[in-house]
Chain A
Amino acid sequence: MSAEAHGHDHGHDHEHEHHHKDTFITKYIFSIDHKMIAKQYLITGIVMGVIGIAMSLLFRMQLAWPEESFKIFNVLLGDKFAPDGVMANDIYLALVTIHGTIMVFFVLTAGLSGTFSNLLIPLQIGARDMASGFMNMISYWLFFLSAVIMLCSLFVEAGPASAGWTIYPPLSALPQAIPGSGTGMTLWLVSMAIFIASSLMGSLNYIVTVLNLRTKGMSMTRLPLTIWTFFVTAIIGVISFPVLLSAALLLIFDRSFGTSFFLSDIYIAGEVLHYQGGSPVLFEHLFWFLGHPEVYIVILPAMGLVSEIMATNARKPIFGYRAMIMSVLAIAFLSTIVWGHHMFISGMNPFLGSVFTFTTLLIAIPSAVKAFNWITTLWKGNLQFNPAMLFSIGMVSTFITGGLTGIILGDSTLDINVHDTYFVIAHFHLVMGISALYGMFAGIYHWFPKMYGRMLNKNLGYIHFWVTAVCAYGVFFPMHFIGLAGLPRRYYTNTNFPLFDDLQNVNVLITTFALVGGAFQLVFLYNFFSSIFYGKKAVQNPWRSTTLEWTTPVEHIHGNWPGEIPHVYRWPYDYSNPNHDVDFVPQNVPMKEGEEVLHH
């Protein structure tokens, strides 16, 4: 291939690369190269993921063997929060809270979107870098700072924030109500404010880059679906994150300056507080105006990655390219008008509940379109089961399983009785937690050669997938049943309710699956970190893919392409095109004379 030849031909180096000598600091730390920033996001995301998942294992152990003594609790949580190895009830809530925060924001928003938007947007649209490399660098370092602050909050004396990741006031506003709402909550809010700033800078960069820096011939309808989802995700982020920032600021005012935006008529610890006229329901509205789009910020990039990987490994065009774009746009639009389904029983006017039921259930339509399109993409394909493909199929599977129970939770009538029970935990972990995580794993297995120039070990990948797949269902499928039994979430233990005694065996099973699944993530970590240094050297286009990132040389260079940026002549899914003998035609290959476009 000609591009490969270019890669080794330093005589034709473009002026962009090797223009100035990189020091260690400008290359690995304060880099403005999107590929390095993507790797920084990924590593930070993985570190945060390890912490977040480890926390979930700790509180799962408490749930399975309530108030039993484990040495590891004492080692990890200290004498204050786990005296004699028994987990205290306030640290349980803190673990739940920080697990949610870390997984939703630091792993599945920044870790997923930050990594792959940064890596793939310039490479797949044919740009030398992001529109503003400097802003991109600031974006990463603000994210890093917010992660550090969040981790610091684990070490404050009264414990980290523990009012749930949704931080509903007054609980989150009053240290008298729960110890974690003191310094821990302050740090949480500061961390999130910085995180939002980081996210906004990233999103603006993605939007501008996609709109302005596409190479010649790369029209919007020739963009790979990955780019479409990153683009739409960035737009949702820009619309909704500022609202969370405003909620966080108003909460800071209430906490520190005595305003009453969210607080009213409170009597606590033997005294009446001065707050009057505020409403916690207002906070819920502001929070979920971000909170709901946030789940799509998490899942849409995963959908994009899966679509791309599925087409490549099925050796077949993604089915219904335009329908896929339309459904992403529909989901994005609907995602901003459904937030009230988290609040059916919050005390808001029941009429609003009717409206939100209607808009919420509508989302099932574009979601169904996507699911059926993925399944049809497999039909009569020539499926290459690389680990990335396994995770992609797994993602479709968990997205369907988890998505279907959304029909129950989105229906206000049915939500009354399953609201805030383990049924909700089962639903959202499958539909956005596990699915997005699978999307992220798929992306890592698929683009690892692009990031590090080496291959991940496929056999370890297979083991990683199958154990994870069995354990994910093993953990979250039984949770539906204990939710339907009426077991509320966020209970430190259920032993005060003999009514729930018959659920204990299920809890033990769930925890066992969780511990095994958690342990097998070590296989991935080993594979990932050892392959960076010792993996098999990658060829330029190992998966025989059509998109532009595989026309760049394996060795990273500033500016991505030596010489000119390739022009684009066709859509990104010309797999098994009957007009060609090879089963893939890269986007930069001109149309043959008289070749017809075979798709809409």
Chain B
Amino acid sequence: MTSLLVIIVLVLLAVALWQLTKIFDLTQVGTSSDDSQVASDNDNNIQGYIMFGFLAFIYIFTIYGLLKWGNLALHTPASEHGGLVDNLMNITWVLIFTVQVITQGLLYWFSFKYKGNKEKKALFFADSNKLEAIWSIIPSVVLACLILYGLYAWNNIMFVDKDEDVIEIELYAQQFKWTARYAGQDNVLGKANVRLIEGVNTLGVDMSDPNAQDDIVVSELHIPKGKKVHFKMRSQDVLHSAYFPHFRAQMNCVPGMVTEFAFVPTYTTSEYRELPFMVEKVANINKLRAEKSVELVAKGGTALDPYTFDYLLLCNKICGASHYNMQMKVVVDTPEDYKKWLSEKTTLAQDIKAAAAAEKPAEGAAPTTDTAAKVIDTVKTVVDTVKAAVAKVAMK
């Protein structure tokens, strides 16, 4: 609560300043003329110096920010195209910083230098075609370069070559959960529609489609290093956005259509954890978590688990009350580990069969199947509601 204390102090300071100005105003009562509220030479002088001070503030704050928070920004990209993105980003940053330093410098320096007084007269300088030409043409040329590089990168990233050897994976979004579907042996995803959602087939996969027979549905995303992964995104309810910050990848999931994005992972999860910047970042986070834990334990709570890095898939389009907790763990494996992991998974067809088998005895026991199903549904809804309520309470 130190911050609140700071705020209170600042508010008090404000009150003090306020009172000071009042006193200042009162001392002027005798001398006040009608233009007492128009800047005097003295005001111009003081404000001119503060302008200069503010320029220093902007520069120092920028340098402070870069030193203190510069390492918070996403570091080494974990995908092949990420290098291209970051390269363009760095070029743009150099440009932005140069322009920012020069223009802010000029703006506040001129404000300081030409602070007015009543004797002076300004220079009548109304226009100059030469100057206008300079600052129209230079930005045009610079922007043309940026646009060309940007478009080159964009086309490289966004257009997937149909002949390329890619792994097809569907990302399925719903409030507030991600699911992935692998295309299986044939590497073709079976057709799907939300109208076919039933029981364990939560993605509405069309099981009459031959391509769907070997599809695999999982709740944790594994992808192999060095192979292009072609994601096809769907959403069952509202807009979501599949955001993989470390891979410089993002695409919205739109109900009623399939969107796509493809990238090649270049570091396995364990390789990325070993990168020096990540070791440092995780150490820092764990230090903060340890401090927080001490605070929590003192209040009678439980300590936080230490953090190990994992790639994440976040939802980055407002999708409802629990939007802030819609995530899926992403694991980049070596191609061998990936194959092994995938081979251990059961296909959706098998899941459906198993579920049907499990439900059979229940059907036999009940006199009419309809009421049984209804009872099961009701129980399910009740269980779900309770679960949701418990989860909500737990979150609080």
Question: A-side interface residues toward B, CB under 8 Å?
Answer: 64, 67, 86, 89-90, 93, 163-164, 168-171, 174, 177-179, 263-268, 270, 272, 276-281, 314-317, 319-323, 345-347, 350, 353-354, 357-358, 361-362, 364-365, 368-369, 371-376, 378-386, 389-390, 393, 396-397, 400-401, 404-405, 407-408, 411-414, 416-417, 419-421, 455-460, 462-463, 466-467, 469-470, 473-474, 477-478, 480-482, 484-486, 488, 490-494, 496-499, 501-506, 508, 511-512, 515-516, 519-520, 523, 535-539, 542-543, 573, 575-578, 583, 598-600
Contact = CB atoms under 8 A, between A and B. Distances in A.
Contact of A502 (B7, B246, B281): B281
Interface centre among A371, A484, A498 (most CB of B within 10 A): A498
A177 to B, nearest CB: 5
A579 to B, nearest CB: 9
A54 B223 CA distance: 46
Interface residues of B, number: 131
Contacts of A519: 7, 10-11, 14
Given A384-B44, A463-B21, A417 B248 contact: yes
Contacts of A600: 126-127
Given A407-B96, A416-B250, A375 B237 contact: no
B325 interface: yes
A357 B243 contact: no
Contacts, number: 417
Interface in B294-352: 304, 307, 309, 312, 314-325, 327
Contacts of A473: 57-58, 61
A434 B323 CA distance: 28
A582 to B, nearest CB: 10
A263 B255 contact: yes
Given A397-B104, A456-B37, A470-B54, 12 more contacts: A89-B324, A267-B195, A317-B125, A345-B252, A353-B158, A386-B38, A408-B89, A455-B36, A473-B58, A474-B61, A484-B72, A488-B316
B285 A498 contact: yes
A401 B252 contact: no
Contact of A382 (B106, B121, B323): B121
B254 A385 contact: no
A439 to B, nearest CB: 16
Interface stretch (B129-137, B211-219, B264-272, B360-368): B129-137
Interface of B: 3, 6-7, 10-11, 14, 17-18, 21, 24-25, 32, 34-39, 43-44, 47-48, 50-51, 54, 57-58, 61-62, 65, 69-70, 72-74, 84-85, 88-89, 92, 95-96, 99-100, 103-104, 106-108, 110-111, 114-117, 120-128, 131-132, 135-136, 139-140, 143, 146-147, 150-151, 153-155, 157-159, 174-175, 193-195, 197, 204, 236-239, 241, 243, 245-246, 248-252, 254-257, 259, 281, 284-285, 288-289, 292, 304, 307, 309, 312, 314-325, 327, 381, 396
A361 B147 contact: yes
A289 B120 CA distance: 49
B112 to A, nearest CB: 9
10 contacts: A267-B197, A317-B124, A364-B139, A383-B115, A467-B14, A477-B62, A491-B324, A496-B324, A516-B7, A576-B121
Contacts of B135: 368-369, 372
A457 B65 contact: no
A493 B396 CA distance: 12
Contacts of A482: 69, 72
Contacts of B25: 457, 459
A264 B239 CA distance: 11
Given A177-B320, A178-B320, A599-B126, A382 B57 contact: no
Given A537-B34, A542-B38, A315 B122 contact: yes
B124 A416 contact: no
A485 B74 CA distance: 5
Contact of A93 (B110, B139, B195, B321): B321
Contacts of A350: 154-155, 158-159
